[in-house]
Amino acid sequence: MFKIIVLISGSGSNLEAIMQACEARAIDGNVVGVISNNADAFGLERAKKFNIPSKVINHNDYDSRESFDAALVSSINRFEPNLIVLAGFMRILSPVMTSAFQGMMINIHPSLLPKYPGLNTHGQVIANKDTQHGVTVHSVSEELDAGPIVAQARISVNVDQKLDDLIERIHKAEHLLFPKVIGMIASGEINLKKTGLDQEVIYKNYEI
């Protein structure tokens, strides 16, 4: 069985999309555990609804980023996962995590990377009058939002696009793209380890 661990910090809407895809067998694998750094994350309730084991590791209980990451690594390794998915996990990872799971960890970011790494991507799109926006699934590296791109989904931005509407459209794109990519990794169509972090990226582009 292809085993997936999902790390969350908040609502967990992408987590739910992934769990639904597993249940529908669109992903040939299962989410075997959910870990959050936030005890109040609503995603923990979503995990409970699907009877997925969950664990809270509060970063405030650790005196350094590295010690928190070491606790994450230890907890994740107990599941012996094939893939670690960052789904709204609002922590910058240290080399303790990135080296432990090189070629096994993906993140989804709400922009067409390398454009707009970091926060406030939607506001930047509107402020700069961009005609396209989107989401990127990428391998996780030590540098924030800079790992090799695995796939992107693009949407057209309306001239009078409101911020809340744009965010909602991007969420829909995330919920379509993330399970699709995870399914392709589980089936072997995408091999993150074969690609590696310093080799040619796998690139798939979707219009949504």
Calculate the CA dihedral of residues 181, 170, 127, 203 and round it to 10 degrees.
10
The token pair that represents 113 in the structure block: 């990377």
Among residues 59, 109, 122, 175, which one is catalytic? Answer: 109
The token pair that represents 149 in the structure block: 């791109």
**Distance of alpha carbon 190 from alpha carbon 40, whole angstroms:** 34
Active site residue 59: no
Whole-angstrom CA distances from 102 to 57, 140, 147, 197, 201 are 21, 8, 10, 8, 14
Give the strand order in the sheet containing 149-156.
54-56, 30-36, 3-8, 83-86, 105-109, 132-139, 149-156, 204-207
Q: Give the active site residues.
A: 109
